[in-house]
């Protein structure tokens, strides 16, 4: 094979890989949306394929079964959250503990506003005692809980370690619920929580509520 042909083949392979990555990304975005909206049991791979605007066979090529698709969707949204929080902890490493904890809460609010599926996804599995729930806890939630307890809000705000479970779940609800039920909030109160000013107001309120 000449160098010219080798280069052409390499470019073709790169384009194919890029298309595959784009397709996979579309599938995962659709899967997060479907699982958050309908839950694992009600959501189907056919529904995900329709949302991603691809053939069912192409979805199966990338994700052979529903469990694999669900885990990959969970990794997409929970992984994004973990990466952002780890970045933030590094950025604020030398700040006053209370200031760092409040900024953690603010950023959590901003992430939840941009990703309302995050809360719905967790709630759907949170009321079940199955393998998926165990995987979610062991892979993502346990680490985040320990970080909050040892390096974050619990110590910074002066809570007792024994209060950590109450702090954790109070934080989850206070931060995320308003975005998960945004249409309800808008009808009930007239406030659109998706507006930038509303997001920042909520971030400031919850930061001082959880870290007084």
User: How many angstroms separate the CA atoms of 206 and 113, rounded?
Assistant: 13
User: How many angstroms separate the CA atoms of 198 and 196, rounded?
Assistant: 5
**13 or 120, higher pLDDT:** 120
For 21-25, 118-122, 147-151, which range has the lowest pLDDT when averaged over its residues? Answer: 147-151
- Can you list the pairs that 178-186 forms with residues at least 24 positions away whose Cβ atoms lie under 8 Å? 178/202, 179/112, 179/113, 179/116, 179/119, 180/116, 180/119, 180/120, 180/123, 182/116
CB 132 within 8 A of CB 76: no
Q: Give the tokens for residue 124.
A: 């759907």
Sign, Cα dihedral of 18, 47, 132, 116: positive
* Distance from the first to the final alpha carbon of the chain: 69
Same fold, 1-64 and 73-212: no
Q: What pLDDT, on a 0 to 100 scale, did the predictor assign at position 120?
A: 85
**108 or 92, higher pLDDT:** 108
CATH of range 1-64; options 3.40.50.300, 1.10.10.10, 1.10.10.60, 3.30.230.10: 1.10.10.60
User: Phi-psi category of 8—alpha, beta or left, where left has phi over 0 and alpha has psi -120 to 50?
Assistant: alpha
Q: What pLDDT, on a 0 to 100 scale, did the predictor assign at position 143?
A: 86
Which residues have a Cβ under 8 Å from the Cβ of 53 and sit 6 or more positions away? 26
pLDDT digits (tens, 9 = 90+) for 140-198: 889 889 888 876 788 888 899 999 999 999 999 999 999 999 999 999 999 999 999 99
Task: Report domain extents, the chain.
Answer: 1-64, 73-212
Percentage of the chain exceeding pLDDT 90? 53
pLDDT digits (tens, 9 = 90+) for 78-96: 888 888 888 888 888 787 8
For 33-37, 116-120, 206-210, which range has the lowest pLDDT when averaged over its residues? Answer: 116-120
Res. 12: pLDDT tops 80: no
Res. 13: pLDDT tops 90: no
> How confident is residue 17, by pLDDT bands cut at 50, 70 and 90?
low
Look up tokens 């945004």; give the residue.
182
User: How many angstroms separate the CA atoms of 162 and 86, rounded?
Assistant: 24
The correct answer on CATH 1.20.1290.10 for the domain covering 73-212 is no
- pTM of the predicted structure, to 2 decimals: 0.83
Mean local confidence (pLDDT), 17-31: 81
């Amino acid at each position: 094979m000449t160098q010219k042909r080798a280069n052409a083949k390499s470019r073709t392979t790169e384009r194919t890989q890029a298309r595959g990555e784009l397709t996979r990304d579309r599938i995962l975005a659709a899967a997060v949306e479907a699982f958050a909206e309908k839950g694992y049991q009600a959501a189907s791979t056919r529904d995900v394929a329709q949302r991603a605007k691809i053939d069912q066979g192409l979805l199966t090529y990338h994700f052979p079964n529903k469990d694999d698709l669900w885990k990959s969707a969970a990794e997409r949204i929970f992984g994004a959250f973990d990466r952002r929080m780890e970045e933030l902890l590094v950025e604020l490493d030398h700040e006053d503990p209370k200031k760092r904890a409040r900024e953690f809460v603010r950023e959590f609010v901003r992430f939840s506003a941009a990703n309302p599926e995050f809360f719905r996804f967790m709630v759907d599995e949170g009321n079940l005692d199955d393998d998926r729930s165990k995987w979610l806890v062991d892979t993502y939630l346990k680490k985040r809980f320990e970080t909050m307890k040892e390096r974050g809000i619990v110590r910074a705000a002066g809570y007792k370690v024994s209060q950590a479970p109450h702090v954790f779940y109070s934080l989850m609800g206070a931060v995320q619920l308003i975005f998960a039920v945004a249409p309800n909030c808008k009808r009930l109160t007239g406030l659109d929580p998706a507006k930038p000013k509303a997001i920042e107001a909520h971030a400031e309120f919850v930061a001082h509520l959880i870290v007084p």
